Chain A
Amino acid sequence: MDLRVTPLDKNVIGNARNNLRKRRLIDTFWGYIFILPQVAGMVAFVLIPLVSVFYLSMVSWDGLGDIQFVGFQNFIDQFASEDLRIAFINTINYTLITVPGGIILALLTALALNRVRGKAIYRVIYFMPVVTSTVAVSVIWLWLLNGDYGLINQILRAVFHVEGPNWLADEHWVIPSIAIVSIWGSLGINMVIFLAGLQSIPAAYIEAARIDGASRLQLFWRITLPLLSPTLFFVIVLSIISSFQVFDQTFILTGGGPAKESYTIVYHIYTLGFRQFTFGPASAAAVILFALLLILTLLQFTLQRRWVTYEL
């Protein structure tokens, strides 16, 4: 057999190579076309703002006049500012109520739902606040929490003969009140995530523990909770992040009041940036919030190794 490569064969190979190169080129062309809209959006609305915010945090600018570079002065001012301190403390207080309260309630609800029939009906009702706008939900709660005629104080008065506080105007009750609204609003989504986590626990583990004579509580602490820990971790991380970003509820319910008792970090950023138009300090506050969230999240990822079980 003649194995020499004839000029004709060379042509065929060359053509195949050319075709391949051509196809790669066409693919590259289409690849860039397909990602173009989203990449343009990312560059224009995320990457450029991301770089700019660090620059803006080091300038003094009201959006109209000259931009003055001030170095780290905005950060120094922010760390010394009474407003940021108040906002920070309020946000922490709010988080300390919302995250544990919300997660325990959602987990208990999911555990109960996982055991009963008629899951779908309950789920529809519990999930309703999740699809409703926070603004509408907050307006409804504004009425429920009204000191004189709100339903909650009316019930306290009629049933328990107690005069309830003026929730949203009371310096001690305002943060717990906003936290209750948030817990109520996010119960549905956390519950659904927990339910999905519970349903992914292999029935065999539960059965085996039952056969070994584990009590209901033992079953929960030794089997369900460890197997649910990745879900729990996920919900904790997300809940902390979102309660540090609380804004809509405080804006509608209290406007940060009374006397800044519900003034939160994002409210602070909003006030500096879009009420006073001091973009420099507002950017510095935003960078501080971001750093705070980053540290908190990294901390949680470090701590998770101690308590999250990924496999039995």
Chain B
Amino acid sequence: MPEMTYLEAIRAAMHDEMEIDERVFVMGEDVGRQGGAFGATKELQQRFGELRSIDTPVAESGIVGVAVGAAMAGQRPIAEMQFADFVSCAYDQLITCAAKMHYRIGWAVPLVVRCPNGGGVGGGPYHSENVEAWFHHHAGLKIVCPATATDAYGLLRSAIRDPNPVVFCEHKFLYRRVKQQVATGPRDGVLVPLGKADVVREGSDLSIITYASTVQLALAVADTLEQEDVSVEVIDLRTLVPFDRDTVLDSVRKTGKTLIVHEDNLTGGFGGEVAAVIAQDAFEYLDAPVRRVAALDTPIPFAPPLEREYLPLEEDILSAARDLAAY
């Protein structure tokens, strides 16, 4: 099994699906000859040609709208947003056309919109956004947020095969910082199903429920607290839609204490939904209030000290987890 980065895993997933399914193609700004701003589609045009790796004009709404039409006409497009932030321009196409078409006439829209998500890379207010909550409210879109290279690969392959529109939030900070041996290959590469959370670390005193970039931070916190005799369970949600309620509720009923962590800002973030589900369906099991650690409710500032102030850091999670453990 080759060791690869999260970014290489994303490229491998697209490559492998394109090898076995000629309906699959990529489109977006600079994705063709250049292979994308980050190299996620590198050499796909050389391998599969200009009709399956399409350089488009700078037109995010147009890109997503064209992808919706191509999906309905029998292709399986993967539309790349150069940065997740720019999907705001395509918001209408996603919620108006992609999300509601099947509900209205039973016509599937098998589409993936890849969104390079998140901060920590000095991107400033327009190259750092976490966009998952923008779409979470709206019925009809699946939302995937991988935390590891294997999940990036396996979830992307599942997303491409899914008959629904999928917003694939891949975290830029993880692109080259996360490495793993990944079982790839057009026919025998690993598939990770959408809608199944991962219990990445078992524990008995406290559950940290998280996804994407903060999974690694939660694991580090769990290591620290283990030395303080606190046993932390870490749940990686993997996909927000579908949301694996059962895995979350099972964990909370076991530990009785919950810390929800995400890099997205606090208010209106996915954590609020997780907290509501726990409050309703696991209330009798709770030994402490449900806590959340998330980013500030501000735009994402550029300068490194300001950005650090904005982001939820390991020490923020550790402090909240300690408080909760002592409650």
Partners in one complex: no
**Interface positions of B (Cβ within 8 A of A):** none
